[in-house]
Structure formats: C-alpha cells, structure tokens
Structure 1
Amino acid sequence: MLLPALSGAFGDDADAIRVGDQRASREAVLSAATALADRIAGSDAVAVWATAGMETVVAVVAGLLAGVPVVPVPPDSGPTERDYVLRDSAASLLLVPATSEGSPRLADVPVPVAAVDLRARSTTSYPEPPPESTALILYTSGTTGAPKGALIPRQAIAADLDALADAWSWTPDDLLVHGLPLFHVHGLVLGVLGALRIGSRLAHTGRPRPDAYATAAGTLYFGVPTVWSRVCADPSAARALSSARLLVSGSAPLPLPVFEQLAELTGQPPVERYGMTETLITVSGRADAERRPGFVGTRLAGVESRLVAEDGTPVAPDGESPGELQIRGPMMFSGYLNRPEANRESFTSDGWFRTGDIATIDADGWHRIIGRASTDMIKSGGYRIGAGEVENALLAHPAVREAAVIGAPHPDLGQQVVAYVVADAATEAQLIDFVAGRISAHKRPRQIHLVEQLPRNAMGKVQKKLLAGG
C-alpha cells in the first residue's frame, strides 16, 4: 500500500494533517479523497491547481486511490505555461479549491474545472493500483526548452520514502513541519506523501515564514536554502527550532555561512540531500551520522552513482576530480511523457540516468555537487572552475548576502568568471581581492555585478539562465 497511514494503522488525531489554518484527521482526508476518486476514476489524468491548501492534499490522494495520474500545476503559472501543461499531459479535468474558481488565473482554461469538496464523504474501496503505474506527472522547470512531464511510478515514491525514513530515522512519532510548494518533489512527495506513508503528523505552514516554523513545535523540518537563510536572520525563531530532532535542507546548495549559522543558533547542523524531479531523492546525509558542510551526503539504500568525464571515461571517486553524476536506483522515473528522443538522450546505453550535474565523490561515498554542467562548470583559460566554489568564497565575505557565479563568453579565455552579488556594503574590487585571497587566483571573478536581488524560482533556486551571459 502506497499510503498506509490512511489505513488507520497509525491512529487518527483530529489534526493529524494541518495546512495553514485547515485541520483534518487522516480518516477525513481519506473519506473526502475517496468521494473525489469516485468522480475521477477512469480518467487518463487529472490536473490539480496545487495551492498550499487541504484541497491539494485531498485531490492528490484521490488520484492515488483511483489509480489516475495526477498533474500538479503551480498556482502562479501564467496562461501559456498552464495551458501547455494541461494539453501536454492530456488532463481531462483541473481540480481547484472552491474559493479559487473565479480566479483570473483560471480564466479560459482549456479543460473543465471542478472544485474539490472537503465535506464530501465516501466509503468506496479501491484496489491498490499496480506498483509500476504512474502516480504523478511532474513537469520539469523547462530551463532548456519546453517543460517535460516526468512520469513518476508508485513504486518509485514508495522506495524513496522508505529509504528516507531509514536515513532520517523518520517515524510515526514525528511531527513534520514545512511550508514548501505542493507542486514539487520536496513539498509534495516528501512533505505530504511522506507523512501519509510513514504515519507522522504533518503541519504545513502555508508559507515558510520563520515565525510559523518557530511556533509549530515540530520534530522534523524541511526547508530550502532561502528558508534557512531567513530563519537565521531571525535568531529567536532559529533558537526555537533547537528542540527539533532534524533539520533538512534541499532543492539547492546550502551556502556554507547559512550552514554554520543554523548549526550555531539551533545547536545542530542541518542535513542536506540531493535529488531531481526524475530521480526523486538519491543522496542524503543521515540522522545518525556526521553532517559535512558543502556535501549532500551518501547514497540512499538501493542507489548506485558514478562520475563520468566528458569523453565518457570513468572519473575516480577521490573527492577531488569532478565529473558528470550518473544515477541508478529504484526511485527513478519511468521516462518523459511522449518524449522518446529525450528518453534516449537522458539514459546511457547501460541504463544510467544522466543528471547533468557535476559532482565529486570521495572514497567514503560522500557527494559534493559542484553545479549544472551547462551553467556551473566554467572553462576559463584551460582551467575547469566550479561556480559553487567561487560562490562559497564570496558568501564568506561578511557583507555578501547572496551570490551567483556564471561563465560568460571571453575572446581570449573562452569563458570568464562573472559574479552577481547582493551585498550590503562592498565594492567590486574588494570582493575580487577577497576571493583571490581564499581560493586560487585563476578562479577569482573577472567581473562582479552588484544587484538588489537574484532571480529565483518557487523552490529558491537561482535562475542563472536569466543572468546576462548565463
């Protein structure tokens, strides 16, 4: 069973599931979702307007009960993106909260729209769908073209959540707290389905505000680097998390200064993890092991990983040599929807998934992500420079709050290191000299642009393609 917590095996607190101000028992979620499953059963796919509300939880569970693939749609989608996802996925229906039916964002939707009724009840019993069947169709960010729908099978979700429960000592006794979007792996698969599989209680804060995290009194917290940076900026909120058992960071690299501040304020260093839409989570730190700043941990149960050079030859796991990270494991997606060419390009002939990320792996299996091969591996004057190393050097400066490094075309060097920095009081020359004093001189930025903010997506990842030259 994919969601055993809905079977009644873990008790039924009246507020076992909290989303913002909404409260529900697991039995209420199951009954409302079953009533919705009665409406959508037999559909090829249904889309969900994935707001941070109980309606999203019920709608996703309904699809899982009925064996109907669910397509989460970001509620901030523009009409072009929204309609592309709806048409590409062949969703027959868009499920929305009753309060949003008149939203301008839902005008002229190319499929029928139906409201999720949290008061509906049904006791229909549905057989468990085949483990290889598609549970979710999650659309990638589309940074290199139109978004692609990744087909996530039920067995991949089950394998990943079980491996994370082992790594994080996640049990029914936990109260999971987060405020992440419910249309991504982190917020939806880990943050909702994880609680419903493992049996822990869930408190979704609506938005990931430091004060909301501080008052939730959880034992297990999920956040992205932007969230943890804001928590650290509110020391009283950070100290309130000192009673938590585990703090988890993911979806983007956690800057070293934030790692250190969080450890100092809460009394424990955070656990980092690594994954993609297509692979779910494959590498993570463990609750019962050390937490190394700058590293995303070791392989989860069942996962294999390797590094490959540009010419296809193996890269030694010596902790220093970078290569493209390739992954195999039971939590893999089953392919892109209607994209046979993309499927062929994404997998090697021997079945490894090409992540497109550059990493190092040491002899003990610790993984360090340098960045995307397309944007974070800079080739300058014959050197291979990881953008992440330069970003961490910049972030060590006390005036720097945010930093993003890219490789920009250069007539002599091929590429030059260019940084975009949010800083309180520092000049370009001061920052260049500071970096040159911490890492090799050839890695220093040749140009630094001081900006008010960096472009980020909903998960806090910097959108380097939107930076000049990216």
Structure 2
Amino acid sequence: MLTALTGAHGDRPDAVTVAGRTSSYEDLLGAARAVAADIGGARAVAVSATPSLETVAAVVGALLAGVPCVPVPPDAGPAEREHILRDSGATPIEADFARRGDHGTTEPAAPGDPALILYTSGTTGPPKGVVLSSAALTADLDALADAWQWTAADTLVHGLPLFHVHGLVLGVLGALRTGSRLVHTGRPTPEAYAAAGGSLYFGVPTVWSRIAAEPQAAAALSGARLLVSGSAALPAPVFRDLHALSGHRPVERYGMTETLITLSGRAGAEVRPGTVGTPLPGIRTRIAAEPGADIGELQLTGPTLFSAYLGRPEATAAAHTEDGWFRTGDIAAADADGVHRIVGRASLDMIKSGGYRIGAGEVENALLDHPRVREAAVVGVPDPDLGQRIVAFVVADGVTGSELTDFVAAHLSVHKRPREVRFITAVPRNAMGKPQKKRLLTDEFEERT
C-alpha cells in the first residue's frame, strides 16, 4: 500500500512535513521499521495521534508489521482513552525518529486482514471500533487518485486530525500511496494554508469558512489545482465565496468511517454546490425511500466498506440490510445523472412536520444565504400539532427571528420555514467540524448561550 516508501517515486528530502518538521521517505521508513521490529506479533497497537512525524512513523510501522493500528485522539479524556485501549486490546506505542530499523523479518498483513481500527464518535453509545482492511484502504485511495487526478506531482496540504479517515487515511496514507509531497500544517489556519504553496488542499467546512473570511488567504490558493471539502456539508455561501476569491469550485465528497469515501465530485468536471458527486468505481448506491418520496436512507455496497465492528457481531449485522447493503443512516437524494445530495442524518435531520418530510440541511442552507447569518443548525422538536416543528439555532447579528422565518419561506416552500428561531453564540461541533445537534437540545447548552 505504501508505494512511495518502497521507491516507486524516488526519494525526496522534503517528502513529508508535519507541523514544520520535514522528513525524507528514507528517514520516515527507517523510523517506521524500528517500530515494526518492536511490535511484531502484537494483537494491536495504539498511537496517540498528535500532528507529528512520530505519529506517521508509528502508523506506518504498524502497517509494515501487519499489526492493526488504533489511532487515539490526543485530547481524549481518561474514560475515552481507557475504553479504546480496553476494547481494542491495543498496546500503546511511540516512534523515535532517532532510531532506525532495517528491513527485518516483519511480515505485512494479508490484504483482507485488519490494518486500522478507527473508533466512532460514540453518539449512540460507547465508541465502536471500525475494522478496516488494507484492501479497503487501497481500493479507496486508488479510486480517489483517479477521481481527483492525484499524482506524485502534487503537493497535498491539510491540517486535519490524524485519528480520522479524512486526516489519516486520505491525508497521510493517500500521500504515501500516490507519492505526492505532504505538508501537514499542524493546525488548519488560513495563514498556514495560504503559505503552504500546495496543488491539492483538504479541509472541512469550518476550515474553508475561516479561509473564505480572509480574502488574502483565499486568494493565495488560486494557484492550487483542486480544493476538496468533506466530513460535513459545505454551506453554499462558503462555496460561492471560495469560488469568487480563489477561482476554485471546491469538490465535495461523502464518506463514513465504516465506508471510507464512496461518493465524490471529479477534478475537471462540473461541480455544483450542495452535491457530493457520483459513486466511486466499485461502489453501488441505492436510496431507500418511502413511496412517493424523493429522499430516503442512503445504502451502499462495495470494496471500501469496513470488515466489522470490533467484537460486536450484533451491531455489525444491524448495520446491514438483509441483502448485505450497509445502512449509512444518512438521508440522501440522487438525480438522473447519479449525482448525490446528502440531506442529513436520519435520526436528527429528517424532520416530519405537518405530514411533510423536510431535510434540515436544505433549511440550513437557506438560512446561511442571509447576509447576517454566520452559522445555522436546524432540528425537529416534538410538537403536539405538527408531530415535529422546525427549530433553527442561529448565530447572527442585526436580524430578528421573524425576519429569518420570512426569508426562508421566500426561498423554500412555506412549510419548510422555521417555526422557532433561537439565537446562540456558536453551533457546537466536534473535532471534524460536524455540528453536534443533540447538544443544542440540552439544558446545559441553553444555559451557556
């Protein structure tokens, strides 16, 4: 899987840069081989996934040794860390760049064996370990390299966490697969992205929103080849601002820990805001919609899907349909050309109000089109008359709730207007910028706002 490290693209003295420190492929491979020599035969190893060359070397070392690697969020609390280590049976390890290993006798895992165990966010219970094989990883990275015309000539820039699919699998292993130079900025600030001089940039909506808010930083990306956004929906106003300032229409893609990336826009093709493109090669999708509805749960099958939830056969079975398709839990629609649009999560973003099925994302995008709205999160709350009523949590200045309700009603169908607008100081988000909507409905959150 690590073709760049095996010499397919030649060595580069500045092949990998993380938080200002640079390594050649040769030095990275030497440090990784030292790790591999130490951990051979282990059940699994855990890596505190700080943005560092040591994290990259430790993950690569585990792959070389054929030992499943468990990236742990460096800011994980004691309870979360203890759960991950206990559940996975992983032994914590560290890499030392001062050490070098030789080829040794380690043997990589077979393509179908576990390579990574990534833990979910645990929104519906304790975090579950998602087992990913090297076959799934390589299938996904090769498909994305084709979709994004990603080659060894690129310089990839991002500053994303190294314990998620986006930052680690795409943002590190993708570079080591294609041979592209990697610049991890440590933190994904507009200034760092602007100064990096990349051809390919990865970001989440929070990152792109902050860059769009600084015109000089956005303009500095005009020399890039492709901007990619993922992990959450990119608001249409941010898409438009980036296009106006940088000349780029960001490509959006869709994926989950359990599926890796399955849908994406293509480099050089038409890109429409609010869409996540078409299925990657080998991926099949279907929309499980109720009769008469044009949106429903997105279900998937293909070579990039996870092997199982670690030690949870019942949860693994429950995540699949009787005929073996994975239930994403996301509500989506697809047009006649196969271009998909994600409406939101079935549990929170499919609102049933007054007999209508309404996607929260559509209402959020309408609110974000208002010039005084900076953030918006829409949920459905129980209502004795409507079943659910639409409630909008908004970060804005100089506008009233009734004005925003009227604004949405003028842009969308009247039944999609918020019945209530609550003004807050910030939408709560996780490390990848995804809104944590359940927190909006807690007393703890409302007391803070």
- TM-score interval (norm. to shorter): over 0.9
1:349 aligns with 2:358: no
Q: CA deviation at 1:240?
A: 0.4
The corresponding residue for 2:92 is 94
**Residue in structure 1 matching 2:273, options 293, 296, 304:** 293
Contact residue 436 and residue 444 of structure 1 kept, 8 A: yes
Task: Find the aligned partners of 1:469 and 1:214 in 2 and give their Cα distance.
Answer: 38
Following the alignment from structure 1 to structure 2, what is the Cα–Cα distance between the partners of residues 69 and 129?
9
Q: Distance in 1 between matches of 2:358 and 2:289?
A: 15
Residue 366 of structure 1 corresponds to which residue in structure 2?
Answer: 339
Post-superposition Cα deviations, 1:231-269, rounded to whole Å, max 9, x if no partner, equal 001100000000000000000000000000011111120
1:37 counterpart = 2:36: yes
TM-score (normalised: structure 2): 0.97
- Counterpart of 1:358 in 2: which secondary structure? strand
Alignment match, 1:256: 236
- Name the residue aligned to 2:447: none
Residue 140 (structure 2) pairs with residue 151 (structure 1): no
Answering whether residue 260 of structure 2 is matched by residue 280 of structure 1, we say yes
Hey, what does 1:178 align to over in structure 2? 158
Q: Map Cα deviations across residues 131-186 of structure 1 (whole Å, 9 max, x no partner).
A: 00101000011111111100000000000000000000000000000000000000
Report how far residue 288 of structure 1 moved. 2.2
SS in 2 for 1:461: coil
For 1:447, the aligned partner's letter is E
Q: Deviations over 1:91-120 (max 9, x none)?
A: 1x212xxxxxxxxxxxxxxxxxxx421111
- How many residue pairs are counted as aligned between the two chains? 442
Partner of 1:100: none
Gaps of 5+ in 1: 96-114
Aligned equivalents of 2:114 and 2:83: distance in 1? 20
Question: Alignment partner of 1:116: what SS?
Answer: coil
Report the counterpart of residue 168 of structure 1 in structure 2: 148
Q: SS of 2:8's equivalent?
A: coil
Q: Secondary structure at the match of 2:308?
A: coil
Which residue of the other structure, out of 454, 459, 465, is the alignment partner of 2:432?
459
Counterpart position of 1:106 = none
**Percent identity, aligned pairs only?**
64
Report the equivalent of 2:446.
none
Q: How far apart, CA to CA, are the structure 2 residues paired with 1:424 and 1:188?
A: 37
Q: How far apart are the structure 2 equivalents of 1:59 and 1:122? A: 12
Structure 1 Cα separation of the partners of residues 67 and 368 of structure 2 = 45
Aligned match of 1:265: 245
Q: Hey, what's the Cα distance between the residues in 1 that align with 2:398 and 2:4?
A: 51
Distance in 2 between the 1:121 and 1:406 partners? 53
Q: Deviations over 1:274-295 (max 9, x none)?
A: 0000000000000021101110
The structural deviation recorded for 1:465 is 1.2
Distance in structure 2 (CA, Å) of the matches to 1:451 and 1:127: 54
**Is the contact made by 2:67 and 2:109 (CA closer than 8 Å) also made in structure 1?**
no
1:112 counterpart residue number: none
Output the CA distance in 2 between the equivalents of 1:348 and 1:78: 35
Deviations 1:17-55 (A, max 9, x none): 000111100111111000011111110000000001111
Alignment root-mean-square deviation, CA: 1.2
Structure 2 residue 433 is matched with structure 1 residue 450: no
CA distance in 1, matches of 2:78, 2:24: 35
Alignment check: 8 A CA contact 1:34 1:121 kept: yes
Partner residue of 1:119? Answer: 98
Q: What SS does the corresponding residue of 1:327 show, helix, strand or coil?
A: strand
Q: Does residue 411 of structure 1 match 2:401?
A: no
- What amino acid is aligned across from residue 208 of structure 1 in structure 2? P
Q: Aligned partners of 1:209 and 1:365: how far apart in 2?
A: 34
Aligned to 1:243: 223
CA distance in 1, matches of 2:109, 2:368: 48
1:118-137 Cα deviation digits (max 9, x unpaired): 11101124333200010100
Does 1:72 pair with 2:71? yes
Contact 1:220 1:246 in 2 (8 A): yes
- Assess if the C-alpha contact under 8 Å between 2:351 and 2:390 holds in 1: yes
Which runs of 5 or more residues in structure 2 are unaligned? 444-449
Once the 2 structures are TM-superposed, how far is the Cα of residue 12 of structure 1 from its aligned partner?
1.2
State the 1:469 CA deviation: 6.8
One of 189, 195, 201 as aligned partner of 1:209 = 189
What is the CA–CA distance in structure 2 between the aligned matches of 1:422 and 1:181, rounded to whole Å? 26
